[in-house]
């Protein structure tokens, strides 16, 4: 039990949490975005990050400070909070990134954790090995063993009230991520960064990222606060939050600004390509694209960085509101349409629907069916699981609408794609209150047919009649032979009306 992290609300595997950071004396509400502050180049001052953007937590790099005589002396002398001018929680990285980039660094886990403690870090980090994607399994295992040794070293350091990160590595091997998550969770350490996913994000491999995170999450306890290390693009916050990530860090806001790039929740634009500013943040409300292009180097960089922060914190608030409302998947559905790689990420997420289902609340706002993917949502899986246990006896009509004339049944159940059948008594319960499109897609019909099959299997002695509005062949093929089919009025018996309205060309 991690008593410094409390989950207040949840949706899918995402959650609103409270991370107590005792050394800073603050409670950080998660999901939280930690702006990355480079102590050598301050684009937006930490004081403004706090007052104008609402940042409760930031991250900086203890190794850069340790390596620079002036910064080190200042940090040891006045402490990081005074040096940066920030009252919130300060996380420090250890130099693992530099290790991965340059092959070696000059400090050990014990040394850097002690240094982090000495400069007043609130959440410190050992020296783990960020194993890149696609390495041999042998390399991934060998490096994971070194990371796990670093975690043990970290446990031995007396860090007082400072919380300590326990990074989860394992490259692109989901089972190693799971094992690493389990090992990290078994330590005394406090916060769990899923590491080395930046190369996946840079290569738009969001599906592989999802698989890596899902692996780590399986190993970690539900009460473990998880940091998706390097996730700074607002486009992916909803997806990452839905998987159960609680902390993000953004260097992107500043790095992209330096390069003339403008973040949106739909991707990244080059300032030079914009004829209109698709945003109404205080920067965009006050400036035209021409203004921004005409701004001098540092001024332009600051303006873009502020826009980038605004759009990032805005998306974070949107994600939190979606968790409160219980429509986080609907937000993920939307973000999945920002890039084909994000769609891959969402489709990969749905591969883990059973895993998500174990955390997803049983009841929430309103289920919106928004795509063929919606038929694979955890709520549909859960309903199908329930159909295995529902009893129906005698002659039961399963109907999408009216009752076929002249027939008499012991019971009449409703059928709604993508869920399938349910007794009318459940009509007002989540997710069966769903809003679904009139133009049903094939995946939804097929999922409904799957529901019919599950119910029929669970009640082998019951006679079922399915009155349908013209299901496509692929759905009817999933209805067991024993179920009698009755087309509803206005529908031809071969189901062509639904085929015609289908999503296929």
> Binding site residues for Zn(2+), as ranges?
279, 281, 284
- Is residue 222 a contact point for a copy of itself (CB under 8 A)? no
Contact with a copy of itself (CB under 8 A): which of 137, 293, 337, 424? 337
Residue 430 touches a copy of itself, criterion: CB under 8 A? no
Closest CB to a copy of itself among 340 and 394?
Answer: 340
Cβ proximity of 256 and 308 under 8 Å:
yes
How far apart are CB 239 and a copy of itself at their closest, in Å? 13
Residue number with CB closer to a copy of itself (339 or 386): 339
| d(C-alpha 217, C-alpha 428), whole Å | 33
For a copy of itself, the binding residue among 1, 41, 285, 296 (CB under 8 A) is 285
- Per CB under 8 A, contacts with a copy of itself among 27-86 are 52
Of the candidates 164, 447, 466, 467, which one interacts with a copy of itself according to CB under 8 A?
447
Show the tokens assigned to 337.
Answer: 């349409």
String marking each residue 404-423 x if it binds a copy of itself according to CB under 8 A: --------------x-----
* Residue that has been written with the tokens 């094939």 in this structure: 442
Distance CA 43, CA 296 (A): 14
Beta strand pairing call for 411-416 and 267-270: unpaired
Binding residues: 128, 196, 279, 281, 284
Instruction: Tell whether residue 202 is a contact of a copy of itself (CB under 8 A).
Output: no
The 369-388 site mask, x for binding a copy of itself (CB under 8 A), equals xxxxx-xx---xx--x----
Shortest Cβ 199–a copy of itself spacing (Å): 17
Give 423-475 as a DSSP string: -GGGTTSTTTT-B--SS--HHHHHHHHHHHHHHHHH-TTSEEEEEES---HHH
320 near a copy of itself, rule: CB under 8 A: yes
Whether residue 156 lies in the annotated active site? no
Calpha distance 194→355 (Å, rounded):
18
Residue with tokens 């502020």: 306
Binding of residue 443 to a copy of itself (CB under 8 A): yes
Q: Which of 71, 295, 426, 436 binds a copy of itself (CB under 8 A)?
A: 436
The catalytic residue among 9, 77, 93, 388 is 93
272 DSSP assignment: G
Q: Are 13 and 359 in contact (CB under 8 A)?
A: yes
Q: How far is the CB of 117 from a copy of itself (least distance, A)?
A: 34
**29 to 5, 33, 54: CA distances (angstroms):** 10, 10, 11
User: Which residues make up each annotated binding site for substrate?
Assistant: 128, 196
User: C-alpha distances in angstroms, 405 versus 243, 453, 488?
Assistant: 48, 24, 10
Catalytic positions:
93
């Amino acid at each position: 039990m991690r008593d410094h992290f409390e989950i207040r609300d949840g949706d899918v595997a995402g959650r609103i949490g409270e991370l107590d950071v005792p050394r800073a004396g603050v409670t950080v509400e998660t999901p939280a975005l930690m702006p990355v502050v480079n102590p050598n180049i301050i684009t937006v001052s930490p004081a403004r990050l706090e007052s104008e953007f609402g940042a409760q937590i930031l991250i900086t790099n203890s190794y850069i400070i340790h390596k620079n005589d002036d910064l080190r002396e200042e940090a040891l002398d006045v402490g990081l909070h005074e040096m940066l001018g920030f009252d919130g929680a300060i996380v420090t990285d250890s130099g693992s990134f530099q290790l991965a980039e340059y092959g070696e660094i000059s400090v050990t886990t014990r040394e850097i954790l002690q240094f982090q403690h000495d400069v007043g870090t609130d959440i410190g980090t050992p020296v783990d090995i960020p194993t890149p994607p696609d390495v041999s399994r042998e390399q991934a295992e060998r490096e994971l063993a070194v990371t796990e040794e670093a975690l043990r070293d970290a446990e031995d350091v007396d860090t007082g009230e400072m919380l300590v990160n326990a990074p989860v590595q394992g490259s692109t091997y989901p089972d190693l991520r799971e094992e690493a998550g389990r090992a990290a969770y078994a330590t005394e350490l406090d916060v769990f960064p899923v590491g080395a996913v930046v190369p996946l994000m840079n290569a738009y491999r969001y599906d592989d990222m999802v698989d890596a995170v899902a692996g780590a999450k399986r190993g970690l306890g539900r009460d473990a606060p998880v940091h998706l290390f390097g996730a700074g693009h607002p486009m992916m916050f909803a997806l990452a939050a839905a998987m159960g990530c609680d902390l993000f860090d953004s260097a992107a806001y500043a790095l992209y600004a330096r390069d003339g790039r403008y973040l949106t929740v739909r991707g990244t634009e080059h300032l030079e390509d914009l004829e209109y500013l698709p945003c109404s943040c205080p920067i965009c409300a006050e400036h035209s694209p021409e203004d921004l292009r005409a701004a001098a180097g540092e001024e332009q960089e600051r303006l873009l960085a502020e826009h980038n922060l605004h759009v990032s914190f805005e998306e974070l608030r949107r994600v939190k509101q979606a968790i409160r409302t219980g429509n986080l998947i609907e937000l993920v559905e939307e973000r999945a349409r920002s890039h084909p790689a994000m769609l891959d990420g969402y489709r990969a997420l749905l591969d883990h629907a059973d895993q998500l289902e174990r955390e997803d609340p049983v009841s929430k706002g309103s289920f919106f069916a928004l795509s063929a993917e919606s038929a694979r949502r955890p709520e549909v899986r859960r309903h199908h699981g329930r159909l295995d246990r529902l009893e129906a006896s005698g002659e039961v009509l399963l109907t999408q609408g009216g009752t076929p004339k002249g027939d008499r049944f012991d019971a009449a159940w409703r059928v709604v794609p993508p869920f399938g059948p349910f007794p009318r008594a459940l009509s007002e319960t989540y997710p069966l209150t769903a809003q679904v499109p009139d133009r049903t897609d094939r995946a939804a019909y097929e999922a409904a047919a799957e529901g019919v099959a599950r119910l029929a299997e669970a009640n082998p002695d019951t006679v079922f009649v399915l009155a349908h509005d013209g299901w496509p062949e692929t759905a009817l093929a999933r209805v067991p032979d024993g179920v009698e089919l009755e087309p509803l009025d206005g529908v031809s018996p071969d189901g062509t009306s639904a085929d015609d309205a289908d999503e296929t060309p």
